[in-house]
Amino acid sequence: MLFNSLLFLVFFVIVTITYYLLPHKLRWLWLLAASSYFYMYFKPVYILIILFTIIVDYCAGILIEKATGKTRRFYLILSLVTNIGVLAFYKYFNFLAANLNLLSDTFHGPQLPLLDFILPIGLSFHTFQAMSYTIEVYRGNQPAERHFGLYALYVMFYPQMVAGPIERPQHILPQLNRVNNFRSSNLITGLFFMAMGLFKKVVIADRLGLYVDPVFNNPHGHSALELLVATYFFAFQIYCDFSGYSDIAIGTALVLGIELMQNFNFPYLASNVSDFWKRWHISLSTWFRDYLYIPLGGSKINFRVTCINLLIVFMISGLWHGANWKYLVWGLIHGLLLVVYQLFNKYNIGIKGFTFLKWLFTFNLVCLAWVFFRAGTVTDAFYILNKIFRGNGFTYSASNLMSVHELWYCTFIIITLLLGERYLRKAKDYSNTSKLLLICGLVFVCYFLGIFNEAQFIYFQF
**Omega within 30 of 0 (cis) for the link into 169:** no
CB 372 within 8 A of CB 329: yes
What's the CA angle centered on 59, arms 55 and 61, to 5 degrees? Answer: 120
Instruction: Residue 248: name the closest of 312, 201, 216, 205 by CA.
Output: 201
CA separation for the pair 321, 323 (Å, rounded): 7
- Name the residue type at position 117: F
Instruction: Please count the other Cβ atoms lying within 10 Å of the Cβ belonging to residue 107.
Output: 6
Contact status, residue 19 vs residue 256, Cβ threshold 8 Å: yes
Torsional class of 167: left (φ above 0), alpha (ψ -120 to 50), beta (otherwise)? beta
Which of the following is catalytic: 24, 321, 334, 405? 321
CA distance 410 to 205: 10
Whether 257 contacts 167, CB under 8 Å? no
Q: How many C-beta atoms lie closer than 10 Å to residue 179's C-beta?
A: 9
Residue 321 is a catalytic residue: yes
DSSP 89-158: HHHHHHHHHHHHHHHHHHTT---PPPP--PPPTTHHHHHHHHHHHHHHHHHTSSPPP--HHHHHHHHH-T
Closest to 288 (Cα-Cα) out of 249, 238, 335, 250:
335
- Three-state DSSP state, 347: coil
Closest CA to 164 of 285, 319, 325, 45: 285
Catalytic residues: 321
